[in-house]
């Protein structure tokens, strides 16, 4: 469909001329964090852009917009997806989960809680992508080995932590989600020796 | 939702620290894990326009013409800027004001911006950029250090110490030739450290919002809002009082967001011209062009050692490839010669350094700013010397450590010095004494040390004002708000403010409001660079909090009719140390104080102590305190593929006092990670010939360590409190990176008996060294020769032990006379 707004030199409502020339707009309903969101967007606009710019969910970050860094990871039907490479038109009827959808009435998700306790979020920019990727892992494998975690998180880049606190946070959250007592060790909080 | 626990809540009258030294969450951690933190690109304002910049496609050229007419007429375009619209130059250092927001007459690297568009959306701005026609008259380009020094090419800039040489430095402290003549062994090496970049996960973004009453607000992912504020005032020719710069939390900085950037000035000007907010978010390729990363550095080092390993004299030369602009380069050049003296005593020291201009993205400060390269050279050099002297590399270092509370040959004042404890720790924990030199072929251990400043002793522009200021506001509900110009880049600077204030006032850090990095609301802090924040803002916060405490104590003491010394504050209570039953809440104490004194607000500020050095160039290197680190790396080298993998790193870091141990460990692990990347894979390199096209400006092809390459890290915090640090604290954000590359390279030698005198240690380099070893040639891969350069006569500064007073022998003689020899 064509976008109803005219192209106006000063009209901030107007979509890009590129999109109008292409005439390629789609109206669709996305289910994000359990809520239906009606959007009308250029067909080439990525899920990343629609989440951030049209739905206002800026918790999803971006580091390359080329599918190289994992920062923009969201879950689609529980599986990690790079939102910078996903098109909303292909996602109608699917369940999209962003970092904003992780909290519940009980508070933070266990992964969010352990990331807080262990300092696994430094600048915090890659954190939403890591937490969501780790959630997909733990939902599938409640007792992952360190190697399983390294493999699952291998597509997410972090420049601050060296990944180690992230591993510990995932392991601690996994223990808590299994109902085991999960307390940080002294070494995690105060170093070796 | 109460995800964070309060610190221990036992009301006691002892003096123990309740917050400092405890591993608590960071005060902004919940915002970060829930996606609530607003980074610069997360900001959207009504009527906001989007900016794209057109960048040079040629490395070196004169701009013949720019035709923007088609772009201006393009539907949806609101404004177009070119270089002549912003004619005033700027630059981070007063001596290198060589940048323009958009190039005017010439371009100096592929990626240099020439025009900018504001349009109704990003796609339209992108289209409009493609409609701008730029005619270039190509100039010969300058590709690297050797190329710059051959003198054949046109000058990149009209200024500098020699043709295409930005800066030349020559300093001598004592008689180095005499020292070398006294030596049992004179070791000489040539090493190269390839350039690399910060690669913050967050792409730089900025949002300008100008109002018709001539007020401008700029939000930006900047580590240095104060310097951006100054640059905007200069280039836009606006009163600083009309400009407000807010640094949003940085999605990683590492030094890469420390310069005032062209895109920040451009969106501010576009907002002024359009009367609408204008935002830009650089794409990843553009982040590579912003750069300001590690300088590629060639280093020549010649040192005399006695038989016991002590250093009789050292001569160090560095050649830095600066890229197209000055940036922090003058400071970077000095830093490549500054800290060689702070670990092992150097009896006489000579430093010669130069920085060339090349047609590449500008280099600047990256984690360790100018010191990882010489530290790599020095620690590999010492490893080689130890072997020739028949000394254990750990023992040799341990036997010759700089004394605490001493002054080095180049007049750096050392305070606490915990390097010995660091070496002993990693030697013990790694099993060094039983395993070094004894592991099977392909496995090796390498040891190296390092040291870094806890903030620079002098500001970037000359002034006598504090480097950091803190304001504290207490309200009658018991609320405390901290205002400070410091910038949260993930290192925990907001949290440090909260912990220090909470410790002094005996309150919960998670109940304190932290307002930072806003030039209108917060007193100046110079920024998040040179590992200065914990020490400097910590001291400023300590002073402000102690002044507030004093007001509360006086009010409470008066009420209870007891001497002030009997009033203690802890665990959100105020109590009489001799009568623990006599208590009131912190909020009640604030009410008393506000009733007595009026509104309660206090300030604190911090200025570093004056350095003993008085010679020209003495401004780079001094610090209130030096951190120390020692590392043992265990590596595996595949002799068939040449691939090096780091298995384990043991690292001990003398932090003085950890304000928050778990956050400090995170800084150590992050430093190890970044050092690992620099040692094994990260490189900013360019295609050959004279096109100087970046090899790989993308996150996929610029190799950085993933989970699969990261090693195990065993971290030990050594606490040797420094009297200049808040509660004794020193830095931790940068120093632990320094020993990593040399430890890995020394480990490779232990593993396969071949030297790679160059990082990154790629498989190709290892194989080249192994091939030479197999042919009975020198088993080494690395640079072959240093460029020819006629150094100026060095400024002579007698060291303290030769009766020196920190001044040059002939203070009037200025550096100069250096030149290029074909």
In this prediction, residue B687 carries a pLDDT of: 87
Strands B468-474, B600-606: pairing kind: antiparallel
Q: For B170-224, how does the pLDDT look when each residue is reduced to its tens digit (9 = 90+)?
A: 999 999 999 999 999 999 999 999 999 999 999 999 999 999 999 999 999 999 9
Residue B584: CB atoms within 10 A of its CB come to: 16
Is any Cβ of chain A less than 8 angstroms from the Cβ of B518?
no
What residues of B are in contact with residue A103 (Cβ under 8 Å)?
1, 34
Q: For B31-74, how does the pLDDT look when each residue is reduced to its tens digit (9 = 90+)?
A: 999 999 999 999 999 999 999 999 999 999 999 999 999 999 99
* B-contacting residues in A 62-101 (Cβ below 8 Å): 62-66, 68-69, 71, 98-100
Backbone φ, ψ for residue B514 (5° rounding) = -115, 120
Q: For A61-93, how does the pLDDT look when each residue is reduced to its tens digit (9 = 90+)?
A: 999 999 999 999 999 999 999 999 999 989 999
Contact A191 B715 (CB under 8 A): yes
Is any Cβ of chain A less than 8 angstroms from the Cβ of B489?
yes
Is any Cβ of chain A less than 8 angstroms from the Cβ of B2?
yes
Tell me the CA distances in angstroms from B489 to A123, B32, B162, B494, B535, one per residue in order: 6, 12, 37, 9, 16
In this prediction, residue A6 carries a pLDDT of: 33
In this prediction, residue A20 carries a pLDDT of: 47
| Nearest to B173, CA basis, from B801, B811, B815 | B801
Tell me the CA distances in angstroms from B250 to A125, B201, B247, B511, one per residue in order: 8, 9, 8, 23
Is any Cβ of chain B less than 8 angstroms from the Cβ of A127?
yes
What residues of A are in contact with residue B284 (Cβ under 8 Å)?
63-66, 68
**Rounded mean pLDDT of B129-134?**
98
What residues of A are in contact with residue B425 (Cβ under 8 Å)?
193
In this prediction, residue A14 carries a pLDDT of: 40
Residue A146: asked if its preceding bond is cis (omega within 30°), the reply is no
Q: What angle do CA B312, B400, B656 make, to 5 degrees?
A: 130
Contact A164 B123 (CB under 8 A): no
Strands (E), B221-348: 243-247, 278-281, 297-305, 311-321
The residues, ordered by sequence, that sit 6+ positions from B260 with a Cβ below 8 Å of its Cβ are B90, B91, B92, B222, B224, B227, B228, B230, B231, B232
What residues of B are in contact with residue A189 (Cβ under 8 Å)?
23, 661-662, 665
- Length of chain B in residues, anyone? 822
Contact B251 A61 (CB under 8 A): yes
Which contacts qualify for B419-422: CB closer than 8 Å, 24 or more apart?
A: B419/B343, B419/B449, B419/B451, B419/B628, B419/B629, B419/B630, B419/B654, B421/B652, B421/B654, B421/B718, B421/B720, B422/B449, B422/B628, B422/B629, B422/B630, B422/B652, B422/B653, B422/B654, B422/B716, B422/B718
Is any Cβ of chain A less than 8 angstroms from the Cβ of B715?
yes
**Rounded mean pLDDT of B559-581?**
95
Q: What is the ipTM of this complex?
A: 0.96
Mean model confidence pLDDT for chain B: 95
DSSP, res A77: T
Task: Please state, in angstroms and rounded to a whole number, the distance separating the CA atoms of residues B745 and B754.
Answer: 10
Nearest to B663 among A68, A119, A162 (CB): A119
Is any Cβ of chain B less than 8 angstroms from the Cβ of A17?
yes
Is any Cβ of chain A less than 8 angstroms from the Cβ of B666?
yes
Contact B33 A124 (CB under 8 A): yes
Contact A116 B253 (CB under 8 A): no
Nearest to B713 among A9, A151, A164 (CB): A164
Q: For B326-340, how does the pLDDT look when each residue is reduced to its tens digit (9 = 90+)?
A: 999 999 999 999 999
**The pLDDT of residue A103 is above 70:** yes
In this prediction, residue A130 carries a pLDDT of: 98
Q: What percent of chain B has pLDDT over 90?
A: 95
Contact B26 A64 (CB under 8 A): no
Is any Cβ of chain B less than 8 angstroms from the Cβ of A175?
no
Q: What angle do CA B432, B436, B441 make, to 5 degrees?
A: 140
* B-contacting residues in A 33-52 (Cβ below 8 Å): 52
Q: For B135-156, how does the pLDDT look when each residue is reduced to its tens digit (9 = 90+)?
A: 999 999 999 999 999 988 999 9
Q: For B452-482, how does the pLDDT look when each residue is reduced to its tens digit (9 = 90+)?
A: 999 999 999 999 999 999 999 999 999 999 9
Shortest alpha-carbon distance between residue A54 and chain B (Å): 11
Written as six digits, the tokens of B434 are 């039983």
Indicate which of A6, A11, A16, A153 best probes the interface with B, i.e. most B CBs within 10 Å of its own CB. A16
Q: For B96-113, how does the pLDDT look when each residue is reduced to its tens digit (9 = 90+)?
A: 999 999 999 999 999 999
**Per-residue confidence band for B234, with pLDDT thresholds at 50, 70 and 90:** very high
DSSP, res A52: I
In this prediction, residue A1 carries a pLDDT of: 30
Strands (E), B681-740: 712-718
**The pLDDT of residue B581 is above 70:** yes
Is any Cβ of chain B less than 8 angstroms from the Cβ of A140?
no
Q: What angle do CA B562, B565, B569 make, to 5 degrees?
A: 100
Strands B278-281, B49-55: pairing kind: parallel
Task: Please state, in angstroms and rounded to a whole number, the distance separating the CA atoms of residues B246 and B248.
Answer: 6
Contact B203 A53 (CB under 8 A): no
In this prediction, residue B813 carries a pLDDT of: 52
**Per-residue confidence band for A193, with pLDDT thresholds at 50, 70 and 90:** confident
Q: What percent of chain B has pLDDT over 70?
A: 97
Strands A79-82, B49-55: pairing kind: unpaired
Tell me the CA distances in angstroms from B523 to A152, B504, B517, B628, B772, one per residue in order: 44, 20, 9, 31, 59
**Rounded mean pLDDT of B779-795?**
96
Is any Cβ of chain B less than 8 angstroms from the Cβ of A60?
yes
Contact A103 B1 (CB under 8 A): yes
**The pLDDT of residue B819 is above 70:** no
Tell me the CA distances in angstroms from B11 to B509, B548, B581, B591, one per residue in order: 16, 20, 11, 21
**The pLDDT of residue B815 is above 60:** no
What residues of A are in contact with residue B77 (Cβ under 8 Å)?
9
**The pLDDT of residue A52 is above 70:** yes
**Per-residue confidence band for B689, with pLDDT thresholds at 50, 70 and 90:** low
Is any Cβ of chain A less than 8 angstroms from the Cβ of B200?
yes
CB B23 within 8 A of CB A190: yes
Written as six digits, the tokens of B37 are 């933190």
In this prediction, residue A22 carries a pLDDT of: 53
**The pLDDT of residue B811 is above 80:** no
Contact B673 A163 (CB under 8 A): yes
* A-contacting residues in B 371-430 (Cβ below 8 Å): 425, 429
Shortest alpha-carbon distance between residue A71 and chain B (Å): 8
Tell me the CA distances in angstroms from B460 to B64, B94, B220, B227, B469, one per residue in order: 36, 8, 20, 9, 16
In this prediction, residue A24 carries a pLDDT of: 82
Cross-sheet strand order for the sheet of B133-138: B106-107, B61-67, B133-138
Task: Please state, in angstroms and rounded to a whole number, the distance separating the CA atoms of residues A53 and A39.
Answer: 11
Indicate which of A115, A124, A163 best probes the interface with B, i.e. most B CBs within 10 Å of its own CB. A124
């Amino acid at each position: 469909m064509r976008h109803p707004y005219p192209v106006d030199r000063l009209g901030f409502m107007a979509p890009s001329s590129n999109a109008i020339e292409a005439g390629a707009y789609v109206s669709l309903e996305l289910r994000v964090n359990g809520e239906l969101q009606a959007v009308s967007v250029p067909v080439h606009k990525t899920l990343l852009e629609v989440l951030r710019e049209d739905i206002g969910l800026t918790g999803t970050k971006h580091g390359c917009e080329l599918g190289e860094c994992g920062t923009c990871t969201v879950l689609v039907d529980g599986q990690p997806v790079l939102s910078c490479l996903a098109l909303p038109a292909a996602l109608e009827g699917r369940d999209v989960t962003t970092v904003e959808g992780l909290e519940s009435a009980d508070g933070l998700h266990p992964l969010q809680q352990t990331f807080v306790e262990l300092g696994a979020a430094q600048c915090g920019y890659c954190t939403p992508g890591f937490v969501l990727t780790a959630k997909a892992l733990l939902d599938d494998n409640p007792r992952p080995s360190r190697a399983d975690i390294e493999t699952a998180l291998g597509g997410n880049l972090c420049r601050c932590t060296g990944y180690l606190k992230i591993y510990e946070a995932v392991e601690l959250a996994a223990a808590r989600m299994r109902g085991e007592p999960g307390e940080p060790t002294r070494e995690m909080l105060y170093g070796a020796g | 939702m109460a995800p964070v626990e309060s610190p221990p809540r036992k009301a006691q009258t002892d003096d123990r620290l309740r917050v400092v030294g405890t591993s608590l969450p960071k005060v902004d951690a919940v915002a970060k894990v829930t996606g609530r933190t607003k980074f610069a690109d997360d900001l959207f304002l009504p009527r906001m326009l989007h900016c794209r910049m057109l960048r040079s496609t040629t490395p070196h050229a004169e701009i013949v013409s720019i035709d923007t007419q088609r772009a201006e007429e393009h539907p949806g375009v609101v404004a177009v800027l070119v270089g002549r619209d912003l004619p005033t130059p700027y630059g981070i250092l007063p001596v290198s004001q060589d940048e323009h927001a958009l190039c005017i007459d010439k371009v100096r690297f592929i990626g240099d911006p020439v025009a900018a568009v504001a349009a109704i959306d990003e796609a339209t701005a992108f289209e409009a950029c493609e409609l701008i026609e730029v005619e270039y008259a190509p100039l010969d380009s300058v590709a690297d250090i050797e190329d710059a020094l051959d003198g054949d090419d046109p000058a990149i800039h009209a200024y500098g110490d020699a043709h295409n040489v930005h800066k030349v430095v020559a300093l001598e402290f004592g008689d180095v030739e005499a020292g070398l003549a006294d030596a049992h062994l004179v070791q000489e090496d040539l090493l190269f450290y390839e350039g690399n970049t910060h690669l913050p996960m967050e792409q730089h973004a900025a949002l300008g919002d100008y109002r018709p009453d001539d007020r401008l607000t700029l939000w930006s992912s900047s580590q240095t809002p104060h310097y951006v504020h100054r640059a905007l005032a200069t280039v836009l020719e606006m009163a600083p009082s009309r400009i407000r710069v807010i640094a949003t939390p940085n999605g990683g900085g590492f030094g890469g967001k420390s310069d005032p950037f062209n895109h920040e000035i451009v969106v501010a000007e576009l907002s002024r011209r359009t009367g609408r907010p204008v935002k830009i978010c650089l794409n990843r390729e553009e982040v590579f062009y912003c750069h300001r990363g590690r300088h590629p550095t060639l280093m020549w080092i010649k040192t005399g050692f006695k038989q016991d390993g002590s250093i009789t004299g050292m001569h160090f030369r560095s050649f830095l490839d600066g890229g197209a602009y000055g940036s922090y380069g003058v400071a970077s050049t000095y830093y490549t010669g500054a800290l060689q003296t702070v670990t092992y005593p150097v009896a006489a020291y000579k430093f010669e350094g130069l920085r060339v201009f090349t047609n590449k993205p500008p280099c600047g400060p990256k984690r360790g700013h100018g010191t990882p390269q010489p530290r790599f050279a020095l620690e590999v050099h010492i490893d080689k010397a130890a072997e020739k002297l028949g000394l254990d590399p750990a023992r040799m270092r341990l036997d010759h450590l700089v004394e605490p509370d001493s002054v080095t040959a180049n007049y750096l004042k050392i305070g606490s010095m915990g390097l010995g404890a660091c070496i002993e720790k990693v030697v013990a924990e790694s099993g060094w004494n039983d395993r070094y030199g004894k592991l099977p072929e392909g496995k090796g251990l390498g040891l190296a040390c390092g040291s870094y400043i806890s903030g620079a002793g002098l500001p970037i522009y000359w002034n006598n004002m504090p480097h950091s200021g803190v304001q504290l506001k207490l309200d009658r509900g018991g609320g405390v708000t901290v205002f400070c110009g410091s910038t949260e880049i993930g290192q925990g600077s907001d949290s440090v403010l909260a912990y220090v204030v909470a410790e002094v006032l005996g309150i919960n850090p998670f109940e304190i409001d932290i307002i930072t990095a806003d030039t209108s609301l917060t007193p100046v802090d110079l920024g998040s660079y040179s590992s200065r924040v914990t020490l400097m803002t910590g001291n400023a916060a300590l002073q402000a909090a102690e002044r507030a405490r004093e007001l509360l104590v006086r009010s409470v003491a008066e009420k209870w009719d007891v001497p002030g010394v009997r009033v203690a504050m802890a665990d959100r209570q105020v109590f009489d140390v001799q009568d623990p039953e006599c208590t009131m809440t912190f909020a009640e104490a604030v009410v008393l104080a506000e009733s007595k004194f009026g509104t309660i607000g206090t300030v604190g500020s911090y200025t570093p102590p004056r350095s003993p050095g008085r010679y020209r160039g003495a401004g780079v290197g001094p610090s209130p305190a030096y951190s120390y680190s020692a590392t043992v790396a265990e590596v595996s080298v595949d002799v068939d593929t040449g691939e090096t993998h780091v298995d384990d790193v043991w690292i001990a870091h003398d932090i003085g006092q950890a304000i928050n141990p778990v956050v400090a460990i995170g800084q150590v692990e992050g430093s190890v990670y970044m050092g690992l990347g620099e040692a094994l894979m990260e490189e900013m390199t360019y295609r050959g010939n004279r096109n100087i096209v970046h090899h790989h400006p993308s996150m996929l092809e610029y190799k950085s360590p993933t989970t699969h390459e990261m090693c195990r890290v065993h971290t030990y915090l050594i606490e040797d409190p420094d009297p200049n640090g808040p509660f004794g604290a020193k830095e931790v954000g940068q120093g632990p990176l320094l020993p990593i590359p040399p430890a890995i390279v020394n480990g490779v030698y232990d593993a396969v008996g071949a030297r790679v005198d160059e990082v990154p240690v790629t498989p190709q380099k290892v194989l080249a060294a192994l091939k030479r070893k197999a042919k009975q040639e020198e088993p080494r891969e690395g640079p072959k020769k240093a460029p020819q350069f006629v150094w100026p006569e060095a400024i002579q500064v007698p060291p303290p032990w030769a009766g020196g007073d920190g001044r040059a022998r002939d203070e009037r003689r200025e550096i100069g006379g250096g030149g290029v020899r074909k």
